[in-house]
Amino acid sequence: MNHIGKEYYGVRVLKDVSIRLKRGQILALLGENGAGKSTLMNILFGMDVIHSTGGFTGDVLFEGKPVKIMKPSDASELGIGMVHQEFMLIDGYEIAENIRLNREITKGNLFSRIISRKLETVDKVSMREDARKTLNSLGLEGLSETVAVENVSVGYKQFVEIARELNKKNIKLVVLDEPTAVLTEGEAKQFLDCVRAVADQGISFIFISHRLDEAIQYADTAVVLRNGELVSQCDMEGVTAIQLSEMMIGRKVELVTKEPKQESELHSPVILSMKNFHVEMPGELVKGIDLEVREGEILGIGGLAGHGKVGIANGIMGLYPASGEVLYRGETLSIADTLSTLKKKIMFVSEDRRGVGLNLDASIEMNTVIAALRVNQEYLRHIGFMRFYNKRAASEYAKKMIEEIDIRCTSSSQPCKRLSGGNQQKVSIAKALAMNPEVLFISEPTRGIDIGAKKLILNYLVQLNRERHMTIIMTSSELAELRSVCDRIAIVTEGKLAGILKPNDEEYKFGLLMSSSVEAMEEQGRAKKEENGVRKVQKEVRNHAAD
């Protein structure tokens, strides 16, 4: 790609960017949110958002020849595939149908033989067999090709996206836009090992990621963008994550650190409790969890994808059928009534920001205040018995949050669909905070967010917890992220609570709990006995003091 430039509505987002990629190479495309990575790849794949906004300048050469890629089908014919950061799947179709979409296997019948081949019907059996082979090659033997996409978790949807591209017979180059953002470390390794093996067979990859350790381990070369400009194209050998991150953001990077809380703070009253809690979320079933959340803590929920960690928040917020007892401040919470839960100042930032979190066609301003407007009747002006939208107050709040959490945009009136994925995530957080929640459920808060923005978001959550005494329940696939900000971390395995650990516990303990090993269960049993013994002594001391 030579001297690529692109403007959106007068704002220049790419400035004279050139990149080179060889056959069988993995190129890591790095940069902060808004640096221009996705725009550059949308140009390569011929996305409509490029050509409907004036096109681009520069040239694209593929296999040594100039090409004009005006639509995704042009890219596909050349052998270019793309796994987008946000899913491009049809929920009502089964997995096999999504994998073979627009490349359906058909079979003849009497009418097609007599009249036209256009009357052939879809051969679902052959399509399922073909999809099964691709899923198996990715190590997904347990994922059925016949299940509807809408009934699987976000992590599995990402695998389906990947399988669709690798299933194409003429594939020569695959663009991966944040493919591991919703995967756990183990799943990400499984996928990237597969990518490496495919690259060794001659297929090239462009790999957009904010996980710099993955880029260093698997990529051959890196291209770093900053503010739409090319900063560097370098070989990965000898490059460190710190060097890459400083190239990305133009400043030194500090790791997120949180001061540990006092022992007394860790034994505050229980604000939320679950007893025998079940959630029927396909791909993330919760199978009877007992869990207590203490007021003012940051509780982390971790575990492997598909084991139920994501289902907890979705069930409590009423997005999927749930059963069992949930108590909030000692009173039963109506888990089937989302509005009632919201009115109790319990908010949720979903892992699915596009499907659940935001109205992409609406402005940043409207997205940030819509929940508070509808649930609490805020951001309204009252004139007699009539109510009108208070645009000034809404605009002030949106502008405040744009500055506070660094939402990269042209203005608060910009539609959310025009934002990068990471900035859409920030808008989702601003929307939740407009409700002034006492309890905040937040799932995958830094999915698709660069290292600089990740630090900002995680520090902001710690600040909310400290300054507002907000109780935060944070679900994440990144264990290091949970350990950096949480007071306790609950590990969910096979739909059940495997145990609760402190963030500074040895790493092997987390691995044991996630694998549901007998040793881990025994260790948790010993820890529970010790805790009960301590509580018994404390009770005796209190009774003695009272006497």
Q: Which CATH number do you get for residue 476?
A: 3.40.50.300
| Judgement on whether residues 204 and 237 belong to the same structural domain of the protein | yes
**Domain-embedded: residue 20:** yes
- Tens-place pLDDT, residues 115-172: 888 888 989 999 999 999 989 887 788 889 999 998 887 778 888 988 898 888 889 9
**At CA 210, angle to CA 2 and CA 182, rounded to 5?**
120
Identify whether the C-beta of residue 131 lies closer than 8 Å to the C-beta of residue 145. yes
Given a cut of 60, whether residue 426 has pLDDT beyond it is yes
- Report percent pLDDT > 90 for the chain: 44
Please state, in angstroms and rounded to a whole number, the distance separating the CA atoms of residues 341 and 358.
19
Pairing outcome for strands 2-8 and 57-59:
antiparallel
Residues 6+ apart with CB under 8 A from 349: 357, 428, 429, 431, 432, 440, 441, 442, 443, 445
Q: Which alpha helices (H) appear in 277-337, and where do they start and end?
A: 309-316
- Helices 124-137 and 154-166: crossing angle in degrees, nearest 10, is 100
pLDDT value at 306 more than 80? no
One DSSP character per residue, 131-173 reads HHHHHHHTT-TTS-TTSBGGGS-HHHHHHHHHHHHHT-TT--E
Tokens of 261: 């809380």
pLDDT in tens, 184-228: 777 788 788 888 888 998 999 999 987 788 889 999 999 999 888
417, 360 in Cβ contact below 8 A?
yes
Q: Is 533 in the same domain as 477?
A: no
Q: Are residues 493 and 392 in the same domain?
A: no
Distance CA 260, CA 474 (A): 17
What tens digit of pLDDT does each residue of 496-524 get? 999 999 998 887 788 778 765 434 444 54
Is 297 within a domain?
yes
Q: Which of 215, 249, 283 is the last residue of a domain?
A: 249
**CA nearest neighbour of 79 among 205, 261, 252:** 205
- For residue 142, being part of any structural domain is answered with no
pLDDT of residue 286: 93
In the prediction, which pLDDT does 536 show? 58
392 in the same domain as 452: no
Instruction: Give the domain extent around 54.
Output: 2-79+170-249
Among 420, 436, 452, residue at a domain's last position: 436
What is the number of domains present in the chain? 4
173-190 residue pLDDT tens:
999 988 887 677 777 887
179 plus 244 within the same structural domain: yes
CA atoms within 13 A on the CB side of 150: 7
Report the alpha-carbon distance of residue 379 to residue 282 in Å, rounded. Answer: 37
- Contact partners, residue 545, CB within 8 Å, separation at least 6: none
Per-residue tokens: 477: 């696939």
At 266, the pLDDT band (50, 70, 90 cuts) reads: low
Q: Is 55 exposed, middle or buried, given 0-12, 13-18 or 19+ CB atoms closer than 10 A?
A: exposed
Three-state SS for 495? coil
* Cα gap 14→225, rounded to integer Å: 9
Q: Residue 237: inside a domain, yes or no? A: yes
Mean pLDDT in residue range 94-113: 90
How much is the pTM? 0.59
Q: What's the number of CA atoms in the CB half-sphere (13 Å) around residue 44?
A: 28
d(CA 467, CA 368): 21
Residues 377, 271: one domain?
A: no
**Average pLDDT in the 276-294 region?**
92
Q: Are 184 and 304 in contact (CB under 8 A)?
A: yes
Question: Residues 191, 183: contact at Cβ < 8 Å?
Answer: yes
pLDDT of residue 148: 92
* Residue 159 included in any domain: no
Domain final residue pick, 218, 249, 280: 249
Residues 341 and 480 in one domain: yes
Same domain, 363 and 509: no
Measured CA to CA in angstroms, residue 466 lies from 125, 260, 278, 402, 459 at distances of: 57, 11, 31, 21, 10
pLDDT value of residue 518: 39
Tokens of 179: 């493919």
- Going by C-alpha positions, the residue among 309, 340, 306, 352 that lies closest to residue 482 is 309
Q: How far apart are CA 193 and CA 180, in angstroms?
A: 12
Asked if residue 86 belongs to a domain, the reply is no
Distance CA 444, CA 448 (A): 9
Confidence band of 396 (pLDDT split at 50, 70, 90): very high
CA 431 – CA 461 distance, rounded (Å):
14
Q: How far is CA 409 from the centre of its chain?
A: 20
DSSP H or E run through 523: helix 518-546
Same domain membership, residue 445 and residue 432: no
Question: Same domain for 336 and 217?
Answer: no
- Look up residue 276 and give its DSSP letter: E
Q: Is 116 domain-assigned?
A: no
Q: Which residue has the higher pLDDT, 435 or 265?
A: 435
Looking at the structure, tell me whether residues 369 and 403 fall in a common domain.
yes
Are 481 and 442 contacting, i.e. CB atoms less than 8 angstroms apart?
no
pLDDT at residue number 344: 93
Interatomic CA distance for residues 56 and 68, integer angstroms: 11
Q: What SS3 class is residue 311? A: helix
Residue 256 burial (CB < 10 Å; 0-12/13-18/19+)? middle
Domain-embedded: residue 93? no
Residue 216 sits at φ, ψ, to 5 deg, of -65, -40
| Same-domain pairing of 335 and 444 | yes
Task: Tell whether the model's pLDDT for residue 33 goes beyond 80.
Answer: no
